[in-house]
Amino acid sequence: MTQRYSQSGSPRPTRRGAERTVWYLMRLTGLALFVLSLSHFLILHVLYDPKDQTAAFIANVRWSSLFWRANDWLFVIVVLVHAILGIRIVVGDYLKGAVRMAVMMAFYLLGLVLFAFGTIVIVTLPKPTG
């Protein structure tokens, strides 16, 4: 069986299943991170003048909109998924057996805690004043 490689040289799993899904998900989250971070930079550093961006600006302009809250939440989720998948690959390369399982469970738990904290912060942000 011939191993197929992507443009980056990473082996693309040939069988269907979890590994192939993770392989594609890693690439999709990478692309989403590129789009989200570029749009974040353009909006906050080109469209709006950075010297005018105070805590009041963030609370009254950005976070008063459901769109911006959803955008920030999506950014947090995509970063976490991409990071956990990346850590999964590195841990799988260097650790085996019970140690690998313990380290991965710790990272999955950390990802779940960060997801919960990020969601709580974005959902419970105070309403703008004034």
Domain count, the chain: 1
DSSP for 37-94, written as a single string: HHHHHHIIIIIS-GGG--HHHIIIIITTSHHHHHHHHHHHHHHHHHHHHHHHHHHHHH
pLDDT at position 44: 80
Residue range 78-97, pLDDT digits in tens: 999 999 999 998 998 899 99
Residue 10's pLDDT band, with cuts at 50, 70 and 90, is low
Assess if residue 9 is contained within a domain: no
Query: What distances in angstroms separate CA 10 from CA 24, 29, 121, one per listed residue?
Result: 12, 16, 36
- What is the CATH classification number for the domain harbouring 47? 1.20.1300.10
Q: Is the pLDDT of residue 52 over 70?
A: yes
Assess if residue 22 is contained within a domain: yes
Residue 3's pLDDT band, with cuts at 50, 70 and 90, is low
Assess if residue 1 is contained within a domain: no
- Look at residues 76, 82, 105 and name the one whose alpha carbon lies nearest to residue 23: 82
Q: What is the extent of the structural domain holding 29?
A: 18-123
Assess if residue 52 is contained within a domain: yes
Query: What distances in angstroms separate CA 9 from CA 12, 51, 57, 110, 121, one per listed residue?
Result: 9, 43, 44, 30, 39
Q: Is the pLDDT of residue 130 over 60?
A: no
* pTM check: above 0.85: no
